Amino acid sequence: MPRTAEAGRAGPLAAALAELRIVVEHAEVVCGTAAVRSYPGGARPTSTVVIAGRGVAGRGENVAWTAEAHARLDVGAVPRGTGRLGEWATAIASGIREPYARAAVEAAAIDLALRQAGTNVFELADVAPAPVRYVVSFERVTDPVARARAEPGPVALKVDADPSWDDATWAALTSTGRVAVLDFKGAGRAPELERAHRALHDALLEDPGDAAWSGSLRRRLALDAAIVSAAALDDVVVRPVAVNLKPARMGGVLEALRCAARCADRGIAIYIGGMFEVAVGRRQLRALAAVLCPDATNDIAPLDSAERPLRLAVEDGPGFA
């Protein structure tokens, strides 16, 4: 079960980041592909935004799904000069409308400002970096039990769930003792969802479909796709027990921190999720999780299935990751 206590650090961290001085002299985008066995087609288009100043550079990862989207990101208009990071981030928000691209530019600026200040998010949040709990996520498959058993233990699992799976499948998934999150991606009728909940009553049910939920299910309700901003919480009809925060989808870390702070105020737990980051973005997600929710079901597993420690260590040198 995610905890809410660490999320209370989100507001002060956002404020501290916004006050950092940043000097920007140069910006560029480096595009390429990453070989990832678990990605459809085996090759993930990727790009890294590099922003430099005063002899150091910061990096952020664009998680756009197509090579064309990566190539469209133009950092020519990124503000140069000296200023506060918060004001700088506000300036780019009006010029870079696509959330993934804006998040990458903002992450690079955060990394740069932290390096220029010789600090990191742990020092700003006044917290020692803690090894991060995580889950291994896998897509919807015909035989989820075999897929679950093939994943080296004992790390918990986040399963893309098919509401139509029969009782035997749910019972077998329960017997693994490892399923922490069921992701329904907006699908499922109430009887199907309740059956899954009865089988795996301790698992979070992320984005279940039909909202005619029992009180018991509501106490395990988690939201993901609807949480695109801090303000999105105001449109939620049923208060979830937890939300999956994805900075890339929210247009950047600062908005994700604002959302985490609002969750803390409302007693909603958080866990950090990714958008298939393959490089610096994945390390930055781990740093964020280490500050806000180190014990949660963070969806930030190593891409290499041979690397499955029970918790993930995080770096604590200058910068964001």
Q: Where are the chain's structural domains?
A: 18-120, 132-312
For the 132-312 domain, the top CATH level (class) is alpha beta
Alpha-carbon distance of 255 to 252, in angstroms, equals 6
The 3-state DSSP class for residue 204 equals strand
Per the CB < 8 A criterion, the answer to whether 21 and 113 are in contact is yes
- pTM given for the model: 0.95
Digit-by-digit pLDDT tens for the chain (321 residues) are: 444 447 789 999 999 999 999 999 999 999 999 998 778 788 999 999 999 999 999 999 999 999 999 999 999 989 999 999 999 999 999 889 999 999 999 999 999 999 999 999 999 999 999 999 999 999 999 999 999 999 888 999 999 999 999 999 999 999 999 999 999 999 999 999 999 999 999 999 999 998 899 999 999 999 999 999 999 999 999 999 999 999 999 999 999 999 999 999 999 999 999 999 999 999 999 999 999 999 999 999 998 887 889 999 999 999 998
What is the 3-state composition of the chain as percent helix, strand, coil, each rounded to the nearest 5? Answer: 35, 25, 40
CB 104 within 8 Å of CB 314: no
Q: Could you give the CA distance from residue 288 to residue 271 in angstroms, rounded to a whole number?
A: 10
Q: Class for domain 18-120, per CATH?
A: alpha beta
Q: Return d(Cα 128, Cα 123) in angstroms, integer.
A: 8
130 is written with which tokens?
Answer: 């803690």
Q: Quickly count helices (H) and strands (E) in the chain.
A: 11, 14
What one-character DSSP code corresponds to residue 120? B
| Pairing of β 21-24 and β 81-84 | antiparallel
Q: Which helix (H) or strand (E) holds 30?
A: strand 26-35
The answer to whether 298 and 116 are in contact (CB under 8 A) is no
Q: Give SS3 for 233.
A: helix
DSSP string, 127-184: ----PEEBEEEE---S-HHHHHHHS-SSSEEEEE--TT--HHHHHHHHHHT-EEEEE-
- At 222-266, the pLDDT tens digits run 999 999 999 999 999 999 999 999 999 999 999 999 999 999 999
DSSP state of 80: P
Alpha-carbon gap, residue 305 to 135, rounded angstroms: 12
